[in-house]
Amino acid sequence: MVHPMQCEMCGKEVPRTRKVIIERTEMSVCNDCAKFGKEATPEAKKAAGVQGSVGDRLAARQRRMTSGQDALAGGEEELVEDFGPRIKRAREKKGWTREQLADKIGQPVPTVTKFESGDMVPSDRALASIERTLGVKLKEKVDKAFIPQRPDASKPSGLTLGDLIKEAQKKDR
């Protein structure tokens, strides 16, 4: 039984795909999309500076993200949704200005303002500094049950790589 494969560019299900290089990326595409690239021979890969196929890079990323054990086995910590107001309340409770908080956590004042408004998410390092300085908890444990599942990867979604490439080619004309 032949399982249909999905074109990495247009999302169409086809019995076989071809390996081609498009925009310095090796992709498995249908015959229709193969015209946008060059056949992926070792020489072509070297000339184009290809760093591996999309599938290989996604698999490597998945291995990095779940190395050792299931990251969600014991639940993981995630930034609370209302981190901005929590930061602002904790700062005001201490009687500090934004400038004082910025000095204490080593961030520029506009960045602190964006943190407080929720327009910018603090980096892990800044988050730890804010939690330590203000004595406030901005992360909470998340159970597996509450993490939304990814949409079914076997079904094509709206925007494909092919759509993006076609748009880029239109702009170049």
Half-sphere exposure of 73 (CA within 13 A, CB side): 6
142-147's contacts with Cβ under 8 Å and 24+ in sequence apart are 142/72, 142/75, 142/76, 142/77, 142/78, 143/75, 144/72, 144/75, 147/72
75 — pLDDT class (breaks 50, 70, 90): low
Least confident span in 60-64, 138-142, 159-163: 60-64
> For position 68, what pLDDT does the model report?
46
Least confident span in 32-36, 51-55, 152-156, 167-171: 152-156
Q: Which of 12-26, 108-122, 133-147 has the highest average model confidence (pLDDT)?
A: 108-122
Tokens of 3: 């399982």
> Using an 8 Å Cβ cutoff, are 87 and 130 in contact?
yes
> For position 67, what pLDDT does the model report?
47
Question: String of b and e for 68-80 (b: at least 16 CB within 10 Å)?
Answer: eeeeeeeeeeeee
The closest of 10, 5, 18, 6 to 164, measured between CA atoms, is: 10
Q: What is the mean pLDDT of residues 15-30?
A: 88
The closest of 27, 56, 68 to 160, measured between CA atoms, is: 27
- Averaged pLDDT of the chain: 80
Q: Show the DSSP H helices in 118-158 as ranges.
A: 124-134
Helix (H, G, I), strand (E, B) or coil at 26: strand
> For position 69, what pLDDT does the model report?
45
> Using an 8 Å Cβ cutoff, are 17 and 5 in contact?
yes
Q: Which of 43-57, 66-80, 82-96, 153-167 has the highest average model confidence (pLDDT)?
A: 82-96
Q: For residue 71, is pLDDT > 50?
A: no
Q: What domains are there in the chain, each with its CATH number?
A: 1-55 (no CATH), 76-144 (1.10.260.40)
